[in-house]
Structures are given as structure tokens and as C-alpha cells.
């Protein structure tokens, strides 16, 4: 009887961690942050499959070609990672201000201004060593994009203007400025059909990571995401930002410089998106033109929300969304779907992510209560 009781006790102790109330109390929140966005993504894919089936296409073929176009070959992986690079940086433009409770959706505008600033720096320094020009482009892109989003933060802090509205309006102002300069003062006379600036020069391009066709912008994005995570979760500055985001009145009472926090975080956020613009110029386009308005800034908003504003989680989510975008061409060739179909999917994902936000903290079995 004693042996049987001991065996019974061991069996109880060997219960699965997920069934242990203590385990769920400790890690339920983390599981929730993975489970709910994952379920939202699966739900969006299911709805998109139904949408495609209405046009006589097999949803299983859709899912296969999406996977194959994103991750099925080494070429697909390189295409996916190339598209993920600007998404990581523009997602940070939304994720960093979110730590302060701000909803900034102006990454596209900061990207355009960053690209324009980087191009201006490169053209102004023609004749200098390539390394000097590349460094100047990085600085110009970061500063240009940073100041652009800082403007939105300043309007919110000093004039009470909603930062979501102002940052969105700044996107269209930035696009208008870019078009005005590209079609006017900065236009290359040789660009007849599509107005563009002069080329920055092949020697000033940042090139690709050795052994791949993926440009160095991916490395910039990874470094920026990791640095942002350390800044937000492992520094006094980041702790102060999260305190202010949780309760701005309490932050002011304890003496935190809320204005300084807002302006600094907005500058860093805009700087990340501006760096994405610089990368698009120095690694892809070679000049500034309307092709830069490819929607990376808007997709970055979806990446940030799907990653729950966590800088590290942004990396895999950006790769996933980059893969979905990269599969658009294959879907068009094999299934006859418009290339813009992936944008429809992204819209559905965004709706599901927003709808799933109400589920956080309401899933009973993850609360660890017996």
C-alpha cells in the first residue's frame, strides 16, 4: 500500500506543466501573447481561404503556394528576408511610442523623409569616399525620419493634437514634399518617364550580405530591434517610459520628465523608419522616386500590433509578413490571383488582430485558477 501511495504521489507530481496552476500563473500571460495572435492569424488565413474559394480556387493550393513562395526555396527565403528588413524598422516606429501609450501610424512618412534626406546627403557629398557617404546617409536618414515623428510627438505634448491623426497626416505631407522635390528641384533631367533624383552612385550602395542576395538592411533591422528591446526592458530610461505609458499622471507626480521621454522616444521611432528609407535608397532603388511609397510603413503597423509592440517579437512577425508579401507574385502566376491579394490578406489579419485584443486576460484556463 505504501508503494502504491508513493507511485500515486509521483504520478501527481509528474502532471503536465500546462495543467499546473502555478505554471499557468507564472507563464499564462506569455502563452496568451503567443496563442491569441497565432489564433488571429490562423482565423484570418481561414477567412482568406473562403474568400479565394468563392472565385473557384482551391484554398489548399493557396496555402501551399503561399508557403512555397515565402519559404519553399533559398531564393524565396532571400526575397522574404529582403522584404522583412524595412518592415522591422517601420514596425519599431509604431512599437516604441506604444510603450508611452502613443499610437503612431506615420512610419510611411518617416520612411519617405528618411529616404529623401539620405539621397540629399549622398548627392551633396559626391566625390567623397564611399564609406563617408554611406555613414552620412545613415545619419541623414535617421535624423530626417526622427525629426518627422518628433513633430507628431511635440504636437501631442504641447498642443494636445492627437498623435494618431497628426502622424497619419504627416505621411501625406511627406509624400507631397517628396513628389514636389523629385519632380522639381532634385529631378534628374534624364528621368523622362518616371521622375527621379540623380543616382547616388553604384560605389555608394551598401550591397548584400556575403553569400546571399539579402542586403545589409536586414542586419540594421535586427540590430535596431535588439537594441530597442534592451532599451525598453533593461534600462532606467525604458522603465521610465513604460511607467509614463501606464499612468502619465503618476509619472509626472514622481518627477519623470514626460515631455523629454515623449520627444526622445518619438525621435528614436522615426529614426528607425528613416533608416528603412535610407536602406531602400542605398540597397534597392539607388535613387529617390515614387517607388519608395510601397506601403512598408503601413504594413509595419500590422507587424507591430501582431507582435504586441515587443521589439524582439517584431523580428519573426516581420519575416512572416515579408513572406506573405513575397508570395504575391507566385499566387498571381499559379492561381491567377491579383498580386494585390496579399494586401487583402493583410487587411483581414489586421481586423482579426484588433478584434482579438478583447480576449487578453479573459481566457480562463490560462489564469491558473483551480
pLDDT in tens, 300-343: 999 999 999 999 999 999 999 999 999 988 888 888 888 778 88
Indicate the helix (H) or strand (E) that contains 17: none
Question: What's the mean per-residue pLDDT of the chain?
Answer: 88
At residue 140, the pLDDT reads 97
- CA 263/CA 324 separation, integer angstroms: 34
Instruction: Tell me which residue has cell 535588439.
Output: 226
Through-space distance between the first and last CA atoms of the chain, rounded to whole angstroms: 29
Where residue 15 falls (left for φ over 0; alpha for ψ -120 to 50; beta otherwise) is beta
Indicate whether 25 pLDDT > 90.
Answer: no
DSSP letter assigned to residue 360:
T
At residue 214, the pLDDT reads 94
At residue 12, the pLDDT reads 45
At residue 144, the pLDDT reads 97
At residue 256, the pLDDT reads 87
- CA 30/CA 40 separation, integer angstroms: 16
SS3 230: helix
pLDDT in tens, 43-69: 999 999 998 998 888 999 999 999 999
176 vs 248, more confident? 176
At residue 138, the pLDDT reads 97
Mean pLDDT of 159-179: 95
Mean pLDDT of 173-189: 93
Mean pLDDT of 28-51: 85
- CA 319/CA 349 separation, integer angstroms: 15
- CA trace torsion 224, 316, 291, 217 (10° rounding): 40
At residue 30, the pLDDT reads 72
Q: 7-21, 75-89, 327-341 — which one is most confidently predicted on average?
A: 75-89
Q: Give the side-chain half-sphere CA count within 13 A for 41.
A: 16
Contacts for 1 with CB less than 8 Å, ≥ 6 apart: none
Least confident residue range of 49-58, 117-126, 136-145, 230-239: 49-58
186 vs 358, more confident? 186
Q: Is residue 345 within 8 Å of residue 59, measured between CB atoms?
A: no
User: Could you tell me the pLDDT band of residue 27, with boundaries at 50, 70 and 90?
Assistant: low
Q: Is residue 301 within 8 Å of residue 107, measured between CB atoms?
A: yes
Per-residue 3-state assignment (H helix, E strand, C coil) for 234-280: CCHHHHHHHHHHHCHHHHHHCCCCHHHHHHHHHHHHHHHHHHHHHHH
Indicate whether 24 pLDDT > 60.
Answer: no
At residue 11, the pLDDT reads 46
Q: What are the boundaries of each domain within the chain?
A: 97-305
Amino acid at each position: 500500500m505504501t508503494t502504491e501511495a508513493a507511485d500515486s504521489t509521483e504520478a501527481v507530481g509528474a502532471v503536465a506543466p500546462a495543467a499546473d496552476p502555478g505554471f499557468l500563473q507564472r507563464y499564462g500571460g506569455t502563452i496568451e501573447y503567443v496563442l491569441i495572435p497565432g489564433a488571429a492569424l490562423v482565423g484570418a488565413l481561414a477567412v482568406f481561404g473562403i474568400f479565394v474559394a468563392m472565385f473557384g480556387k482551391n484554398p489548399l493550393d493557396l496555402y501551399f503556394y503561399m508557403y512555397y513562395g515565402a519559404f519553399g526555396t533559398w531564393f524565396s527565403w532571400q526575397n522574404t528576408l529582403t522584404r522583412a528588413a524595412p518592415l522591422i524598422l517601420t514596425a519599431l516606429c509604431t512599437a516604441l511610442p506604444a510603450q508611452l501609450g502613443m499610437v503612431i501610424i506615420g512610419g510611411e512618412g518617416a520612411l519617405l523623409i528618411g529616404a529623401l534626406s539620405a539621397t540629399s546627403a549622398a548627392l551633396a557629398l559626391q566625390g567623397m569616399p564611399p564609406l563617408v557617404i554611406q555613414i552620412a546617409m545613415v545619419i541623414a536618414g535617421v535624423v530626417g525620419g526622427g525629426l518627422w515623428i518628433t513633430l507628431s510627438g511635440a504636437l501631442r505634448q504641447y498642443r494636445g493634437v492627437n498623435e494618431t491623426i497628426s502622424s497619419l497626416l504627416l505621411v501625406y505631407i511627406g509624400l507631397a514634399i517628396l513628389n514636389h522635390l523629385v519632380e522639381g528641384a532634385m529631378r534628374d533631367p534624364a528621368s523622362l518617364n518616371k521622375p527621379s533624383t540623380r543616382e547616388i552612385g553604384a560605389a555608394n550602395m551598401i550591397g548584400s550580405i556575403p553569400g546571399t542576395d539579402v542586403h545589409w538592411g536586414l542586419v540594421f533591422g535586427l540590430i535596431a530591434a535588439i537594441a530597442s528591446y534592451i532599451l525598453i526592458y533593461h534600462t532606467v530610461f525604458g522603465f521610465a517610459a513604460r511607467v509614463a505609458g501606464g499612468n502619465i499622471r503618476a509619472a509626472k507626480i514622481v518627477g519623470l520628465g514626460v515631455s523629454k521621454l515623449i520627444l526622445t522616444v518619438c525621435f528614436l521611432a522615426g529614426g528607425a523608419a528613416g533608416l528603412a528609407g535610407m536602406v531602400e535608397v542605398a540597397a534597392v532603388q539607388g535613387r529617390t522616386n515614387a517607388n519608395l511609397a510601397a506601403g512598408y510603413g503601413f504594413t509595419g503597423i500590422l507587424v507591430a500590433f501582431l507582435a504586441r509592440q515587443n521589439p524582439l517579437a517584431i523580428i519573426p512577425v516581420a519575416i512572416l509578413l515579408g513572406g506573405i508579401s513575397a508570395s504575391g507574385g507566385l499566387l498571381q502566376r499559379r492561381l491567377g490571383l491579383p498580386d494585390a491579394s496579399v494586401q487583402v490578406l493583410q487587411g483581414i489579419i489586421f481586423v482579426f488582430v484588433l478584434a482579438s485584443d478583447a480576449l487578453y486576460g479573459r481566457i480562463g484556463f490560462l489564469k491558473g485558477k483551480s
